Amino acid sequence: MLKDSTKLIIFIIMSSLLMGCASLSAQTDRDDYRQQAIEILESVPLFDGHNDVPWQYRNRVGYKFSELDFYDTTHLDRPMHTDIPRLREGRVGAQWWSVYVSANISEPEAVKQTLEQVDFVHRMVEKYPDHFELALTADDVERIFAEGKIASLIGMEGGHSINNSLAVLRMFHELGARYMTITHGRTLDWADAAGDDPQHDGLNEFGEEVIREMNRLGMAVDLSHVTPATMKDAIRVTEAPVMFSHSNARAVSNHPRNVPDDVLQLLPEVDGLVMVTFVESFTSEELRRWYAERNGVRAKVESLYAGQPDMIREKMQEWMDENEMPKSTLEQVADHIDHIRDQIGVDYIGIGGDYDGISSLPLGLEDVSTYPDLFAELLRRGYSEEDLRKIAGENMLRVMRGIEATAERLQNEREPSEVLITDFE
Ligand SMILES: [Zn+2]
């Protein structure tokens, strides 16, 4: 039996704890949750699905670290969204570095440029060994995170980078690539892209063979940038989990780059993951409509005043003055997360910011230091710490392990594919 005095002390402690909870829950300001968010992000690797730093280094300085130090990219004329101190401040624990190249160049040239991008990631982790290490597996990610470094993974953005060759695909895997987005903005010989004219009603036979070979290799099938028909074909064919490295919910903003509800509904069965992105026009429906209107007005003005560039500029400026561009917000990004959770639950959500792949970002998510603010907003909305750990990194780790286990099984079952695209022509 406890003494009365001990009971009194326990009573006082308990009631002050309860009062503390009550006053905390009464405060709705996101800042109150920031510290809690940071502590969660220090316990699990925050795993971002898409960052275009390699593309920035290519375009700005021809990949020369001697001309652009990754310790500070804020002093540039056009500051970057990413550098080492801000990645640390944002508590990033694992990053899929995109090795994107334009889909509008020839495919053999795309293979060369993608190799240069892959080379950049390898050189970056060698250049900054205290901060980065190349990760090839989920175990690597956890080990590197535990050592206080940022696990660095390579994601290819678009099947144009394999020039219709499974041999090239296999060699990119050999060099460390662990996801490939099936297309970028251009429909390929074997897969339809969102925003381009469809030619195959999704994937053709070679496209399905690409998915099967990626499953066998242990490379994640990334369905950002493809049409709903391609998403559904890939989900039907795949034997491993799939991912969307940077896409939002189409029911919230009806952009073709986002994921429709009927596709979301298919994800639990294949253990798929949507990494919610910060691209402004995918985030805000209001902004998407504003862009569409502006493009329509521009087409009309250009037609009305053909050959009079000054007049066109003046008329467009008039329209812009009357129609202020709406700004997307961190809260709207959280709305996409809410929607996906309401549709299929928190197990299928991740984060894929697309930093340095876009020029403007939602208010509150201006650079890679801001991730804790998004997680604080989710806490404010009532998400649990367990939910946040899943969204931050546990879901991506589980998906990677599923992909790795499938690859191990398939490598025992079948030989590398001998199929050529010409087999189907
Ligand atoms: Zn993209």
In a domain, 102, yes or no: yes
Residue whose pair of structure tokens reads 């201006």 in the numeric block: 366
For 364, left (φ over 0), alpha (ψ -120 to 50), or beta?
left
Exposure letters 94-120 (e unless 16+ CB within 10 A, then b): bbbbbbbbebeeebeebbebbbebbeb
Q: Residue 171 has which token pair? A: 């060699």
pLDDT value at residue 209 = 98
Residues 73, 197, single domain; the answer is yes
- Which of left, alpha, beta for 363 (phi over 0: left; psi -120 to 50: alpha)? beta
Q: Give residue 4's pLDDT.
A: 53
Tokens of 73: 């990219």
Residue 255 CA, ligand 1 centroid: distance in Å? 13
337 and 273 within one domain:
yes
Question: Quick one: pLDDT at residue 424?
Answer: 83
Look at the block and give the residue holding tokens 């099967």.
212
Residue 103 DSSP SS3:
coil
250 shares its domain with 132: yes
Distance from the alpha carbon of residue 20 to the mean position of ligand 1, in angstroms:
44
Give yes or no: residues 377 and 290 share one domain.
no
| Domain assignment of residue 1, yes or no | no
Domain tally for the chain? 2
How close is the Cα of 343 to the center of ligand 1, in Å? 24
C-alpha atoms less than 13 angstroms from C-alpha of 110 in its C-beta half-sphere: 24
Is residue 156 helix, strand or coil? strand
Angle, helices 34-41 vs 371-380, to 10°: value is: 120
Q: Give me the sign of the Cα torsion angle 381, 387, 390, 395.
A: negative
Burial classification of residue 77, based on how many CB atoms lie within 10 Å of its CB (0-12 exposed, 13-18 middle, 19 or more buried): exposed
For residue 392, what is the domain's CATH number?
3.20.20.140
Q: Are residues 117 and 184 in the same domain?
A: yes
3-state secondary structure of 191: strand
Residue 215 falls inside a structural domain:
yes
Q: Tokens at residue 295, please?
A: 């493009």
Distance 270 CA to ligand 1 centre (A): 23
Catalytic residues: 50, 52, 157, 184, 225, 246, 354
For 278, the token pair is 């910060």
Sign of dihedral through CA atoms 220, 51, 360, 102? negative
For residue 8, is it within any domain? no
Cα of 184 from ligand 1 centre, angstroms: 7
In a domain, 32, yes or no: no
292 shares a domain with 262: no
Residue 244 · residue 275 · CB < 8 Å: yes
Tokens of 56: 């920035």
Q: Rounded to the nearest whole angstrom, what is the distance from the C-alpha of residue 28 to the centroid of ligand 1?
A: 34
pLDDT one digit per residue (tens) for the chain, 425 residues: 445 555 545 544 554 455 444 444 433 578 899 999 999 999 999 999 999 999 999 999 999 999 999 999 999 999 999 999 999 999 999 999 999 999 999 999 999 999 999 999 999 999 999 999 999 999 999 999 999 999 999 999 999 999 999 999 999 999 999 999 999 999 999 999 999 999 999 999 999 999 999 999 999 999 999 999 999 999 999 999 999 999 999 999 999 999 999 999 999 999 999 999 999 999 999 999 999 999 999 999 999 999 999 999 999 999 999 999 999 999 999 999 999 999 999 999 999 999 999 999 999 999 999 999 999 999 999 999 999 999 999 999 999 999 999 999 999 999 999 999 988 87
Question: Dmax over Cα atoms in the chain, in whole Å?
Answer: 94
Instruction: Determine the distance separating the centroid of ligand 1 and the alpha carbon of 225, expressed in angstroms.
Output: 7
Q: How far apart are CA 260 and CA 228, in angstroms?
A: 7
Same domain, 105 and 182: yes
Provide Rg for the chain, Cα atoms. Answer: 23
Is 214 in the same domain as 354? yes
239: in domain: yes
Question: Separation of 26 CA from ligand 1 center, angstroms?
Answer: 40
Contact 246, 277 (CB under 8 A): yes
The rounded Å distance from CA 358 to ligand 1 centre is 9
Cα–Cα distance, 322 to 319 (Å, whole number): 5
291, 261: one domain? no
Q: How far apart are CA 323 and CA 208, in angstroms?
A: 45
How confident is the model at residue 109, as a pLDDT? 98
Of 303, 326, 349, the last residue of a domain is 326
Structure tokens at 267: 């994800």
| 157 CA from centroid of ligand 1 (Å) | 7
- Comparing C-alpha atoms, which of 166, 198, 157, 136 is closest to residue 55? 157
Looking at the domain assignment, is residue 34 inside a domain?
Answer: no
Helix axes 205-217, 228-237, angle to 10 degrees: 50
* 138/19 Cα distance (integer angstroms): 41
Q: What is the pLDDT of residue 6?
A: 55
Count H helices and E strands in the chain, helices first. 18, 9
Same-domain pairing of 67 and 150: yes
SS3 93: strand
What pLDDT does residue 31 have? 85
Q: 246 alpha carbon to ligand 1 midpoint, in Å?
A: 7
The residue assigned the tokens 């000054």 is 310
Per DSSP (E only), the strands in 259-394 are: 273-276, 349-351
Tokens 């704890």 belong to residue: 17
Burial class (CB in 10 A: 0-12, 13-18, 19+), 414: exposed
Based on the number of CB atoms within 10 Å of its own CB, is 231 exposed (0-12), middle (13-18) or buried (19 or more)? buried
> What range does the domain containing 289 cover?
285-326
**Domain-located, residue 17:** no
* Same-domain check for residues 340 and 272: yes
107 and 180 fall within a common domain: yes
- Taking residue 381's Cβ as centre, other Cβ atoms within 10 Å add up to 16
Note whether 424 and 205 are within 8 A (CB): yes
Spatial separation of the C-alpha atoms in residues 245 and 256, rounded to whole Å: 15
